[in-house]
Amino acid sequence: MSFEMEPNRVYYICRICSYVFQEDPYKMPIRCPQCDSEEVERT
C-alpha cells in the first residue's frame, strides 16, 4: 500500500459522514467511498 500523493488526484471530504478521501477530479460524479453520497467538496 502506497501513501504517496498521486498527481492526478485531489482530496475531498464528504458532507454527510466527514470521510476524507482522494479521487480523480475528472471522474464524475464523485461519490464518497464510505457512504456512497454525492455530497462531497474539494479540500
Map out the domains of the chain as residue ranges.
Answer: 10-42
Residue 1, amino acid? M
- pLDDT, one tens digit per residue, over 1-42 is 455 656 678 999 999 999 999 999 998 899 999 999 999 999
Q: C-alpha grid cell for residue 36? A: 456512497
Write out the chain in H/E/C secondary structure. Answer: CCCCCCCCCEEEEECCCCCEEEECCCCCCCCCCCCCCCCEEEC
Structure pTM? 0.75
pLDDT score of 1: 45
pLDDT score of 9: 84
pLDDT score of 8: 74
What is residue 20's three-state secondary structure? strand
